[in-house]
Amino acid sequence: MTEFRCNFHNHTVLSPCADLTMTTENYINFLTKSSLDWISITDHNSSANVRNYKKIIEENSGIKVIPGIEVQSIEEVHILVYFEHTHECEEFGKIIEESLIIKSYNQEKLGYQILTDESGEFSEIIDSPYLGSSSSYSVDKIFSMAKKYSTAVVPAHIFRANGLITQLGIPPKINFDAVEVKSEKEMEKAKKIGYSKFIFGCDSHFPQQLENISCYIEADSRNFQNFQNSLNSEKVIPVWQP
């Protein structure tokens, strides 16, 4: 068994709110400085950068990347969906993109949405839809749509802005694979309302945050099954951020 150092919540230059310096180059720079073993790419409402970031990171750092997406539901709840397969993440990402309710937006004010090619160069600026918008799908619908694939579905930062409990007040009756919390206090609060399976992420929007380890997973290898098993068996070990 190895104790893998992980951070499963990171944005790229595709997310309008992420820094323009969240390039593949900076991912490599900061990730190779860190001792991380296993991460995920989770842009807002799109998975269009996942394939190229995953390939470049895995080839240049030896770090494993789980394909992911952070969906915003119609209730404005952020939900992380982790996929076993990149092509399924891409298929799901397209469905989410098409469902976004804000089509055009002010790029200068709200941030650029940048696609990256195979070599890590900027290839295109996406001006529609606005990836910071909500999908027209509800939390329940997003859960059931995601569960058609091999996935782990995890509401993000549940007590913060756009968190499940902030938006919905009471835990909905959905059997999530885990919930993401940001502190020990939040974990205790989440336990009181019935949650027992947790994940801990940095939600990196700036390159400096990419170095942070947010949790450990003990497993014999970094495959999706082991990721899901450690979530389901309450075995993800937190590293609290200052």
Residues engaged in binding Zn ion (CB under 5 A): 70, 78, 156, 203
Nearest approach, Cβ of 156 to Zn ion (angstroms)? 5
Nearest approach, Cβ of 134 to another protein (angstroms)? 11
Please identify which residue in 25, 74, 239, 240 interacts with another protein, judged by CB under 8 A: 74
Distance, C-alpha 156 to centroid of its chain: 8
Choose from another protein, Zn ion, none: what does 78 bind? Cβ within 5-8 Å by kind: Zn ion
Nearer to Zn ion, 57 or 71 (CB): 71
Three-state DSSP class for residue 34: coil
Site string for another protein, 156-185 (x = CB under 8 A): ---------xxxxxx-x-------------
Choose from another protein, Zn ion, none: what does 156 bind? Cβ within 5-8 Å by kind: Zn ion
CA distances from 166 to 106, 127, 208 (A): 27, 30, 27
Size of the site for another protein (CB under 8 A): 13
CA distances from 218 to 1, 105, 221 (A): 6, 43, 9
80, 17, 6: which is closest to 50 by C-alpha? 80
Nearest approach, Cβ of 153 to another protein (angstroms)? 16
Q: What is the DSSP string of 115-181?
A: EE-TTS-EEEE--SS-TTS-BSS-HHHHHHHHTTSSEEEEESSTTSTT-HHHHHSS--S---S-EE-
Neighbour count for residue 17 (Cβ, 10 Å): 12
Q: Could you say which DSSP state residue 236 is in?
A: P
Interface with another protein in residues 101-140 (CB under 8 A): 138-140
Choose from Zn ion, another protein, none: what does 203 bind? Cβ within 5-8 Å by kind: Zn ion
Nearer to Zn ion, 24 or 73 (CB): 73
226, 222, 203, 79: which is closest to 153 by C-alpha? 79
Choose from Zn ion, another protein, none: what does 70 bind? Cβ within 5-8 Å by kind: Zn ion
Nearer to another protein, 89 or 181 (CB): 181
Q: Using CB under 8 A as the criterion, which residues of the chain lie in contact with another protein when the complex forms? A: 74-76, 138-140, 165-170, 172
